[in-house]
Amino acid sequence: MYKYVLVLHILSATVWTGGHLVLALALLPKILRERSVADLLAFESAYEKWGMAALVIQVLSGLWLAYSLIPDMGSWFAGENFVTRLILLKLTLLALTLAVAMDARLRVIPRLSADTLPAMALRIRLITLLGVAFVIVGTTFRTGPWW
């Protein structure tokens, strides 16, 4: 069962992080240059259902994977060993992702205009960097420390 959940987790990470990389690297420069709120909203409406579903699957499968490795959830926050430190780091990245997403959803998107596009672009870039960090930390479970 572990392998199947891991593959589901990785596929969801591909959708989440890949979608944000496409937005941040391929679409956002043109959106900012042309100050096109409509183009950003078009991407958002097409991607949101897939991206949010992928994020939910990542969270649920990630919790399942963490529990299967370390059943004592209290130790996830103690950082007693390499694996629990990685789990804590993933949970921290999740908290940061949710904070940035909620900030965008509640503060920026309701007032989205050509003038507020740079503020939205900052949040898109932060979410993208957090997604890449998720991938790096996730691979570290298998590859070991980077140092």
DSSP 33-95: HHT-HHHHHHHHHHHHHHHHHHHHHHHHHHHHHHHHH---GGGGGTT-SHHHHHHHHHHHHHH
**Domain coverage including residue 127:** 2-143
Q: Domain tally for the chain?
A: 1
Q: What is the pLDDT of residue 145?
A: 85
- Rg of the chain over Cα atoms, rounded to whole angstroms, equals 17
pTM exceeding 0.75: yes
Question: What pLDDT score was predicted for residue 52?
Answer: 93
pLDDT for 147: 77
For 53, half-sphere exposure in the C-beta direction (CA atoms, 13 angstrom radius) is: 8
Q: Which residues of the chain have pLDDT under 50?
A: none
Both tokens of residue 88?
A: 């804590």
Can you give the pLDDT at residue 37? 95
